[in-house]
Structure 1
Amino acid sequence: MKRVYHIALLAGVAIIASSCQNTKKPNYQYMPNMYEAVSYETYAESDAFKNGKEGQLPPAGTINRGFEVYDYPNTTEGYEAAKANSKSPYGPWSEADKEKAKGLYEIYCAICHGAAGDGKGKLVKQEKFLGVPSYKDRVITEGSVFHVETYGLNAMGSHANQLSTKERWMIAAYVMELKNK
């Protein structure tokens, strides 16, 4: 008989506890801002920032993580300085690095400059670009090639977004090999 009372008491407590539940509106929210977030228009002004219009800017003098500073400006003087003074900070290239440089050159450069660096790539043969120089006809150094890869020159755009600093130096060394062949 005592057992029947315990079961009845347990059932009564369960009924009372479940009768207070409202499934349409929870009684308690752990983090209400996550459930009922304030929406903002994409380009609307907001008081979330100091001046009300634009986001916060990084502190002056800071650079992105992993960014390597290149000391030569994108000017003719910067090009000439890089041509005269800039050298690869990486040591002698291994055979694997040379193979990788050849592959990168074929992907990014050979379409215009040609596989042999003679300025007769596929786009030049199809007359999409004219006047692409041969490496043998130009006075270039490893530093000048790196500078042009970084900033671009004339019709050639910058490759700094597609290639890392080390990859650009690898290609510059490969271009110098093509020039000397």
Structure 2
Amino acid sequence: MSRLFKITTVIAIVTLVFTSCDKTKRNLQYMPDMYQSVSGEPYEESNVFSNGIEAQLPAEGSISRGHIPYEYPDTNEGYEDAKKNLKSPLTVADFDSNKEAQLFDIYCAVCHGKKGDGQGELVKREKFLGIPNYKDRDLTEGSIYHVIMHGKNMMGSHASQLTEKERWLIVKHVQELRNNLLK
């Protein structure tokens, strides 16, 4: 009887192996959307939303998180208005002379020079000419901040690279450099 049992067991195992590996039989899928997602393109036409596209526009008048609106326009009038009226919101405790110098070295010194004398590395290599010396300019907190925000003449805007606080730190450092040049 043990021999008959062994033969039956071997035949059952072989049959089980061959039938379980049959690729022609379709497997049953439970929740097929989990396996094959419904595809869609980001901006394709759709009847889900009223404007006909999947991506929605932000609400009128909304401000993105972390963005603080700058009220002075990129015009000469905006520059003059900022020059007269714009003041730093930072307190004395917010300023850090090491951070100020570090930010200035990263973003400004390559053109304006480490001393603010307009003799940065790019000027020395004659890549840019006519970079102003801080001593020769009538600078205020507002005018410096406005130029960092919007740029002026050949200088482009640095608003996307610097946070509001970092811009004000650079403003303070530029004023210190200007005061050193005037001595």
Say yes or no: TM over 0.5.
yes
Equivalent residue letter for 2:75: T
TM-score (norm 1): 0.78
State how many pairs are aligned. Answer: 161
Matching residue of 1:29: 30
What is the CA distance between 1:49 and its match in structure 2? Answer: 4.6
Q: How far apart are 1:174 and its partner, in Å? A: 0.4
Partner residue, 1:14: none
Give the deviation of 1:156 after TM superposition. 1.0
Partner residue, 2:113: 114
Does the alignment pair 1:160 with 2:159?
A: yes
What does the per-residue CA deviation read over 1:96-154, in whole Å, with 9 as the maximum and x for residues that have no partner? x1110100000000000000000110001111111110010000111111111111111
Give the direction of change, closer, same or farther, for the CA distance of 1:127–1:39 in structure 2 (3 Å limit). Answer: same
Verify: 1:126 aligned to 2:121, yes or no: no
Question: CA 1:49–1:171 in 2, change beyond 3 Å: closer, same or farther?
Answer: same
After alignment, is 32-41 or 131-140 more displaced? 32-41
- Residue 114 to residue 54, structure 1, CA distance change in 2 (3 Å): farther
Counterpart-to-counterpart distance in 2, 1:110 and 1:89: 24
Q: Quote the Cα distance in structure 1 between the aligned partners of 2:175 and 2:86.
A: 14
Partner of 1:9: none
**CA–CA separation in structure 1 for the residues paired with 2:111 and 2:137:** 16
**Map of 2:92 onto structure 1:** 92
Aligned to 1:56: 56
Percentage of matched positions with identical amino acids: 53
Two-structure CA RMSD over aligned residues (Å): 2.6
Gaps of 5+ in 2: 1-18
What secondary structure is seen at the aligned counterpart in 1 of 2:71? coil
Aligned to 1:105: 104
